[in-house]
Chain A
Amino acid sequence: MDSTTPPPTAAPASDPLLILRGIVKQFPGCLANDHVDLTVGRHEIHALLGENGAGKSTLVKIIYGVMKPDAGTITWDGKIVTIANPAQARALGIGMVFQHFSLFEALTVAENIALGLNNPEDRVGLYDRIVDISTRYGLPLDPKRAVHDLSVGERQRIEIVRCLLQNPKLLIMDEPTSVLTPQEVQKLFGTLRRLAAEGCSILYISHKLEEIRALCERATIMRLGKVTAHCIPSEKTARELAELMISAKLKTQNFGARAVSSHAPRLVLDRLTIRSNQPFGTDLKDISFAVAPGEILGIAGIAGNGQTELMEALSGEIPAGSPKNILLDGIEIGHEGPMARRKRGCCALPEERNGHGAVGGMTLSENGFLSANMRGALQRLGLINRKRTRAFAAGVIERFDVRTTGPEAEARSLSGGNLQKFLIGREVVQQPSVLILSQPTWGVDAGAAAAIYEALVALAKGGTAIVIISQDLDEILMLCDRIAVIAAGRISPPVKVMDATIEQIGLLMGGSRHQEPEHVPA
């Protein structure tokens, strides 16, 4: 992370760009914004901090015209305005990068971007301008590719480029860096600082406190729909910021080296080679590693370098070429599907929560059943044991402090962080012998992430071998015992986290990109 502090000219400007006063937004059963005030100055990078469910997303949706506030005023550029819809927000000069990307899977990159440009003149020569902006700001994109073939990281670049093309006066960024390498984050920060210097204000939402400290001049902190504090982030430690955000003091995080046993490895990958089933996917080549009981292995890498394929090979969604390629406690399981592997104790949770990790339209109980029906003995003679299933879900909700109305809540009604806590809890409670996770804390706030880390460390102490595929290096360095880097479908030999430096790993991740022509626009 960047350690340089922003210039000390952080006092609120006398002539702010955007002033919100007394914004109220009521949803059925939940007051999402309770008289929220927010002031964003010109040329300012302003942080909006808060846990999941604190009301940040609702607030920025109001600014962007997606939702209408029940009460309160918005003053833009000195005039009170009503922002009826996003087109009007864009016309005023407000751009937004959504947390849950608003992309169209079946359309190409260029078509997606064109949809965000209201003014027909903006669409002239679009291809060249996309390539131009994306290279200028270090966000490589091929305008002709269809979105459904792209990784999460690449999708986010589309959103950012789409906003930049409109020369906004205010850019709202909701968790923009979660899928970038340290080098890319630095590049993005350079971009954002340059934009701020050129006169564009930035409203920056992130759970990564170090980032906010490095980048933002002022911060507004929200909790349960209310503004609880204003501060200058560079004057606070990350810990102090986190505490302002989640009221209760953070438990000390001590994920220091655990005694990793020298027992036979629980999970062994032996020269796993798989052709991707996606038209633009990455083939896996000769992937070999072993994970010991009690060990957490982190797999770092930039989005689109084979993480999706590796995850699917480990979970059993794509069977390996030969049963011998994957061994679980010495048993060959390469040919088995996800259910068979789960039964043996190899559990997995993919990156995409809604639609892959969970069925959005089903209740938490039902989602619990889908994964734990065998290991949790939730079925009998082929029938669902409702009582046990409910109790299983209620147990996960209780133990992992999932904020929801109960086991009968629909999965999609939960905020991202809460759903993730439930899903990870669902796997952890099954006491697997091997647990494989992809992006376990993507879009999850600091409090929930800490709870997830604690649960994983406790699970590892019980002898489970854990593999974490993540693009968040801080997470891997904090949590894992060893780290390997995946690049262009090959994996580097795992090294002890204590022996690794961020620079070294970043180079491993970045250096391989020269062999990856697919990321470079033609």
Chain B
Amino acid sequence: MDLFYITSFVLSIISASTPLLLAASGELITERSGTLNLGVEGMMLIGAIAGFATAHDTGSALLGVLAAAAAGIAISLIFAVLTQTFLANQIAAGLALTIFGHGFAALLGAGYVGIAAPTLPKLAFPLLSKIPFFGPVLFNQNILIYFSFAILACISWFLRKTHAGLILRAVGDNHDAAHAMGYAVLKIRYGAIAFGGGMAGIAGAYLSLYYSPLWSQDLASGRGWIALALVVFSAWRPYWLLAGAYLFGGITYLSLYLQGLGVLIPAPLISALPYFGTIIVLVLISRDRRRTRLNQPACLGKSFHAVV
């Protein structure tokens, strides 16, 4: 295999892993605040169509990304109102959000099937992008790929080093104690849910404006669910999330490659490989139960109701 193949292989992995990383980063923050939003898939689809439609109508892919983030935030706030203000069950509300997102995105996208929209530009660094292998991989990528790494580093720093991050973790760990100390549990959770919605929306825009730049209603094809699983298996740690997302992306691409080579393994088994592989590796990662207990937000999925 020469350098050209290796480069294209790595590029494919990066572009397959990025939507997972974007959506899972947002969900990580939501879950660290103690809220379980199972609506990632729905929010991604809403983001995908909002981004696609905006990019098509305005001619600007960047405006499309902003619109996708805004749409993701807007739909996640429905979930926030239901679960935080009206104390609805988070699992049910999250599932409802996914179903709603599927249907609503299909409705909005009815007029956009089969037409093209502007795609996200690549950001090429002068000179650096000409270096063999490292140039295309590191210095000539779509801006959302840079963004996915930057935001992950920011999240890790935010959670570990900042006081606001400490408050977010505290709210997820013990909302009663956080309330007793005077922290506004609901406001913080609204914020965390909105962040998760915005990131899922951006992940959707990545799909519809770059990864497969055409609108179709099965665009997300389960990526929202994979992102949810990655958050849990990474034990709520940002860099393990990165590893998980790239592992999944890598095996996905490898399985396509194997199919292309015509290996004598039944195709359905090869298609299942990314799921098997990711589950096995992440189960091994999260085997340390003490660490998992330390990181799992103890209030995950629980409603908070203050007695005032």
Minimum CB–CB distance for B170 against chain A, Å: 5
Interface bracket on A: 20 to 34
Task: Kindly list chain B residues whose C-beta atoms are within 8 Å of the C-beta of A66.
Answer: 179-180
Q: Are A65's CB and B182's CB within 8 A?
A: yes
Given the known inter-chain contacts A102-B181, A148-B294, please indicate yes or no for A115 contacting B307, CB distance below 8 A: no
Task: Kindly list chain A residues whose C-beta atoms are within 8 Å of the C-beta of B163.
Answer: 114, 120, 123
Q: Is B96 an interface residue (CB 8 A)?
A: no
Given the known inter-chain contacts A104-B170, A105-B174, A111-B166, please indicate yes or no for A116 contacting B181, CB distance below 8 A: yes
Q: Is A85 an interface residue (CB 8 A)?
A: yes
Q: Is A7 an interface residue (CB 8 A)?
A: no
Q: Are B180's CB and A106's CB within 8 A?
A: no
Q: How many A-B residue pairs have CB under 8 A?
A: 64
Q: In chain A between 93 and 125, which residues have their CB closer than 8 angstroms to a CB of chain B?
A: 98, 101-107, 111, 114-116, 118, 120, 123
Given the known inter-chain contacts A86-B180, A86-B181, A115-B167, please indicate yes or no for A102 contacting B174, CB distance below 8 A: yes
Q: Is A196 an interface residue (CB 8 A)?
A: no
Given the known inter-chain contacts A67-B307, A67-B308, A279-B290, please indicate yes or no for A107 contacting B182, CB distance below 8 A: no
Q: Which of B166, B179, B183, B297 contacts A114 (CB 8 A)?
A: B166
Q: Is B295 an interface residue (CB 8 A)?
A: yes
Q: Is B298 an interface residue (CB 8 A)?
A: yes
Q: Provide the bound-state CA to CA distance between A106 and B169, in Å.
A: 9
User: Which of B163, B166, B181, B290 counts the most chain A CB atoms within 10 A?
Assistant: B181
Q: Are B177's CB and A104's CB within 8 A?
A: yes
Task: Kindly list chain A residues whose C-beta atoms are within 8 Å of the C-beta of B308.
Answer: 67-68
Q: Is B31 an interface residue (CB 8 A)?
A: no
Q: Provide the bound-state CA to CA distance between A255 and B139, in Å.
A: 82
Q: Provide the bound-state CA to CA distance between A115 and B177, in Å.
A: 10
Q: Is A353 an interface residue (CB 8 A)?
A: no
User: Which of B182, B290, B296 counts the most chain A CB atoms within 10 A?
Assistant: B182
CB-CB contacts of A378-393 with B at 8 A, as 1s and 0s?
Answer: 0000000000000000
Minimum CB–CB distance for A464 against chain B, Å: 37
Q: Are B180's CB and A107's CB within 8 A?
A: no
Minimum CB–CB distance for B29 against chain A, Å: 16
Q: Are B298's CB and A105's CB within 8 A?
A: yes
Given the known inter-chain contacts A85-B182, A90-B182, A102-B176, please indicate yes or no for A107 contacting B169, CB distance below 8 A: yes
Q: Provide the bound-state CA to CA distance between A267 and B307, in Å.
A: 46
Q: Provide the bound-state CA to CA distance between A90 and B294, in Å.
A: 29
Task: Kindly list chain B residues whose C-beta atoms are within 8 Å of the C-beta of A67.
Answer: 307-308
CB-CB contacts of A242-258 with B at 8 A, as 1s and 0s?
Answer: 00000000000000000
Q: Provide the bound-state CA to CA distance between A390 and B308, in Å.
A: 33
14 of the cross-chain contacts (CB-CB < 8 Å) are A66-B179, A86-B182, A88-B182, A98-B180, A102-B181, A105-B173, A105-B298, A106-B169, A106-B173, A106-B294, A107-B169, A111-B166, A116-B181, A279-B290
Q: Provide the bound-state CA to CA distance between A448 and B140, in Å.
A: 73
Q: Provide the bound-state CA to CA distance between A106 and B34, in Å.
A: 13
Minimum CB distance partner of B174 in chain A: A104
Minimum CB–CB distance for A355 against chain B, Å: 11
Task: Kindly list chain A residues whose C-beta atoms are within 8 Å of the C-beta of B180.
Answer: 66, 86, 98, 102
Q: In chain B between 117 and 157, which residues have their CB closer than 8 angstroms to a CB of chain A?
A: none
User: Apart from A66-B179, A148-B293, what are 9 other A-B pairs with CB-CB below 8 Å?
Assistant: A87-B181, A87-B182, A102-B174, A104-B170, A104-B177, A106-B169, A107-B169, A111-B170, A279-B290
Task: Kindly list chain B residues whose C-beta atoms are within 8 Å of the C-beta of A92.
Answer: none
CB-CB contacts of A120-152 with B at 8 A, as 1s and 0s?
Answer: 100100000000000000000000001010000
Task: Kindly list chain A residues whose C-beta atoms are within 8 Å of the C-beta of B294.
Answer: 106, 146, 148
Task: Kindly list chain A residues whose C-beta atoms are within 8 Å of the C-beta of B293.
Answer: 106, 148
Task: Kindly list chain B residues whose C-beta atoms are within 8 Å of the C-beta of A89.
Answer: 182
Q: Are A115's CB and B295's CB within 8 A?
A: no
Q: Provide the bound-state CA to CA distance between A428 and B248, in Å.
A: 56
Q: Which of A106, A111, A115, A123 contacts B181 (CB 8 A)?
A: A115
The 4 closest A-B pairs by CB, nearest first: A86-B182, A102-B177, A87-B182, A104-B173
